[in-house]
């Protein structure tokens, strides 16, 4: 599923956490280590399957747990308009 990180957010990586400031809403989001890892891979343009595979290896979790974590964060990022899902090219 093609996606893009929307502009207008201030994104800062601090140690193993990521902080995102939404100036329009005056909201600060802080991601834990796992969410930060997923977000950094999204920023690099990695696809869902590649991120899930990397999560299972890095954190030694089962694929269903990695998939759940990915989908929850991806859904939150969409809802907060930090990322946008792009229409497939025809």
Residue 46 sits in a domain of what CATH number?
A: 1.10.10
What is the average per-residue pLDDT within 29-35? 95
Judge whether 90 lies within some domain: no
Domain count, the chain: 1
pTM: 0.90
- Full domain range(s) for residue 38: 3-85
Judge whether 64 lies within some domain: yes
Q: What is the pLDDT of residue 90?
A: 60
pLDDT in tens, 38-65: 999 999 999 999 999 999 999 999 999 9
What is the average per-residue pLDDT within 23-52? 94
Q: How far is CA 13 from CA 18, 37, 48, in A?
A: 4, 10, 21
């Amino acid at each position: 599923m093609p996606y893009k990180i929307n502009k207008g957010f201030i994104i800062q990586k601090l140690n193993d956490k990521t902080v995102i400031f939404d100036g329009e809403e005056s909201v600060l989001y802080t991601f834990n280590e796992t969410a930060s890892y997923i977000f950094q891979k999204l920023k690099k343009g990695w696809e869902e399957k590649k991120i899930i595979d990397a999560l299972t290896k890095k954190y030694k979790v089962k694929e269903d747990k990695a998939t759940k974590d990915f989908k929850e964060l991806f859904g939150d990022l969409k809802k907060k308009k930090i990322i946008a899902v792009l229409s497939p090219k025809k």
